[in-house]
Structure 1
Amino acid sequence: MIVKDVIELIEEFSPLSYAEDFDNVGLLVGNSGTKVTNVLVSLDTLENVVDEAIKKDCNMIVSFHPIIFSGLKKITGRNYVERVVIKAIQNNIAIYAMHTALDNSFKGVNARICDELNLINRKILIPQKGTIKKLVTFVPEKDAETLRAALFEAGAGNIGNYDQCSFNVSGTGTFKGNEDSNPVVGSKGVTQYENEVRIGITFPKHSESRVLKALSDHHPYEEVAYEVTTLENTNQHIGMGMIGELSEAMNEKDFMKFLKEKMNAGGIRHSAFLGKDIKKVAVLGGSGAFAIENAKGAGADIFVTADVKYHQFFQAENRMIIADIGHFETEQFTKNLLVEYLKEKIHNFAIILSDSITNPIKYF
């Protein structure tokens, strides 16, 4: 198995097309054609993580955070980023990161926080826009079933808990080929009237290349007529943050103790208690203050996130509690999530959970 094979498995779980525009995800260092010895999974890629990879015979690091965010004009070892890149290249170690692609996954970072807090009835807090697309095409009646099956196989037609969803309308298509054409039905220079089916089918953004390949491979016509549009429909399975419920309400202080214990938090910075029980909990791993209004709008009793600034705590407005448990603390279980997934998929070499400490924040 080569690096590219591991990447394909990761992107089945967390497609990079859902990463935020500001992010730098994918293969950051290394050759995708390199044969993999073992894989080290970490939250960050620091020098001690690369040293751990060398010691454990891992020539690929799968990291949640990307070590390279902005462009490198020089690589001289003057800072920790450059030193990591140099050491990885010198030791032929590939570095791959998915970051906000996994943040936006329904089974990603925020789902893992929900798991730790035993939240039920989960929903995406901020659905990502533009993630649902629609294909409309026209095919002869006799070929419609074959084409639909191929599109379904490529990932089209899945809506929530349903698959093989499409809408079909029969009608008459017309076309006339010029002297350079090679029509499958009809003759050059003669207008052809053909009984056709108009197939309408939705698909997730990340499946577009596979869906269009299936269309091209299984449509009988020399020239395939089709339209692809991006829909404004809300996608409940892609987006930032989650909101769920405790099976039983807890008073504020008991929930804070529970939260601190479950998330191994060295301390919790929070807005004022409101004197009411906690039932509905919103979470967003990493720097999540941008979602405070979304959490309030969703009726959360408490919003668990990190990196909240002084003035942002005022946004609670006595409608919910804002709880900042720390950036590392909200994302610490992400590497466990990735290890569990990759171990299910890969059996011919080791998937190793990094034990390197990468949290830069200490508590006194």
Structure 2
Amino acid sequence: MTINHITQILEDFAPLSYAEDFDNVGLLVGDASTELTGVLVTLDTLENVVDEAITKNCNLIVSFHPIIFGGLKKITGKNYVERVVIKAIQNNIAIYAIHTALDNSPKGVNAKICEVLNLTNTNILIPQKNTLKKLTTYIPLDSVEKVREVLFNAGAGKIGNYSNCSFSTEGKGTYKAHDNANPVKGIIGETHTEKEVMLTCIFGKADEHTIVNSLIESHPYEEVAYDIQTLDNTNAYIGIGMIGELKKEVSEKEFLNDLKLKMKTQMVRHSKLLNKPIKKIAVLGGSGAFAIGAAKAAGADVFITADLKYHQFYEAENQMVLADIGHFETEQFTKNLLVDYLTKKIPNFAIHLSESITNPINYF
């Protein structure tokens, strides 16, 4: 098994195309064709994590946060980022980061928070834009069912809880093959008319490469006519943050006490309590101030996130309670999520949960 095998499994779970534009995800250090000895899963890749990988004979570190975020102009070891990269390269250890690809996954970071808090009726808080595309292609009448089935198997035609969705219209296509062509139907130099079906279906952008290749391989024509459009339609199944409900209403203080216990945090920084029952909860792991408006619009009683600044607490505007439980605390279960997923996919391979402490924040 190579490093590439593991990264493909991870990208089936959290496609890199769903990561935010500002992010740096994927294989950051190492050669994807290297034979794998073991995998260490961590929240952050620090020097002590690389040491742990060496001790456990793991030559791939799967990290939630990317150790290389901006560009590196020099690698001299003068800061912790450069030292990590040097040590990893010296010991032939690859580093893969998944970050906002997992943030935007419907089974990722925020789904895990909802699970820990026992929330039900969960939905994406901020659906990601431009994740849906539409394929339009033209297929000879006698081949349409075969091609349609191949496209469905490649991931096309999925709309929410439905699959095998498409639309087709019969018509007549024309073409004239030139001297170097090898037409399946028709004669070189003559305009040919063929009964064809215009087939359209929707797909997620992460599947585009697979779907186009499947179309070309299954289509009978030498040159395949098709076009792809990016849709403005909202994809309710991909995006950042989640919102769900408690099984029963509780008081604000009861909820905050339970939140501290379940999320293993020493402190909750919160906005003014409103003396209202708590039922609807919005969550966003990591720095989530940008989603305060979305949480209010969704009718959340509490919005749980991290890294809120002083003036951002005012943005609650007596409509909900903002609860900042800490950056590490919102993402702490992410490595468990990844270990569980990888272990199910490759149960007979060494997948290790990092024991290294990487939280840079301490409390006195």
Q: If the length of structure 1 is used for normalisation, what is the TM-score?
A: 0.99
Task: Confirm whether residue 34 of structure 1 aligns to residue 34 of structure 2.
Answer: yes
Aligned to 2:169: 169
Task: Confirm whether residue 71 of structure 1 aligns to residue 71 of structure 2.
Answer: yes
Higher mean alpha-carbon deviation, 46-55 vs 345-354, is at: 345-354
Alignment of 1:183-202 (within 5 A): 183-202=183-202
Unaligned runs of 5+ in 2: none
Secondary structure, aligned partner of 1:308: coil
Higher mean alpha-carbon deviation, 185-194 vs 35-44, is at: 185-194
- The one-letter code matched in structure 2 to 1:326 is G
C-alpha displacement at 1:194, in angstroms?
Answer: 1.0
Aligned to 1:279: 279
The separation in 1 between residues aligned to 2:282 and 2:348, in whole angstroms, is 39
Aligned to 2:314: 314
Aligned to 2:224: 224
Aligned to 2:344: 344
Q: Count the aligned residue pairs.
A: 364
Identity %: 65
The separation in 2 between residues aligned to 1:354 and 1:251, in whole angstroms, is 37
The separation in 1 between residues aligned to 2:191 and 2:76, in whole angstroms, is 68
The separation in 2 between residues aligned to 1:84 and 1:186, in whole angstroms, is 62
Secondary structure, aligned partner of 1:340: helix
Alignment of 1:319-330 (within 5 A): 319-330=319-330
CA deviation map 1:80-129 (0-9, x unaligned):
00110111111111100010000000000000000000011111000000
Q: If the length of structure 2 is used for normalisation, what is the TM-score?
A: 0.99
The separation in 1 between residues aligned to 2:222 and 2:49, in whole angstroms, is 53
Secondary structure, aligned partner of 1:221: coil
Following superposition, which runs of at least 4 residues in structure 1 exceed 3 angstroms of deviation? Answer: none
- The one-letter code matched in structure 2 to 1:338 is L
The separation in 1 between residues aligned to 2:157 and 2:125, in whole angstroms, is 24
The separation in 2 between residues aligned to 1:109 and 1:320, in whole angstroms, is 22
C-alpha displacement at 1:221, in angstroms?
Answer: 1.1
Higher mean alpha-carbon deviation, 332-341 vs 32-41, is at: 32-41
CA deviation map 1:269-318 (0-9, x unaligned):
00001110010000000000000000000000010000000011110000
Alignment of 1:114-129 (within 5 A): 114-129=114-129
Secondary structure, aligned partner of 1:180: coil
The separation in 1 between residues aligned to 2:361 and 2:224, in whole angstroms, is 57
The separation in 2 between residues aligned to 1:119 and 1:348, in whole angstroms, is 33
Q: Is the 8 A contact 2:170 2:195 kept in 1?
A: yes
Higher mean alpha-carbon deviation, 165-174 vs 203-212, is at: 165-174
C-alpha displacement at 1:361, in angstroms?
Answer: 0.5
Aligned to 1:17: 17
Unaligned runs of 5+ in 1: none
The separation in 2 between residues aligned to 1:134 and 1:313, in whole angstroms, is 41
The separation in 2 between residues aligned to 1:89 and 1:250, in whole angstroms, is 51
The separation in 2 between residues aligned to 1:332 and 1:250, in whole angstroms, is 25
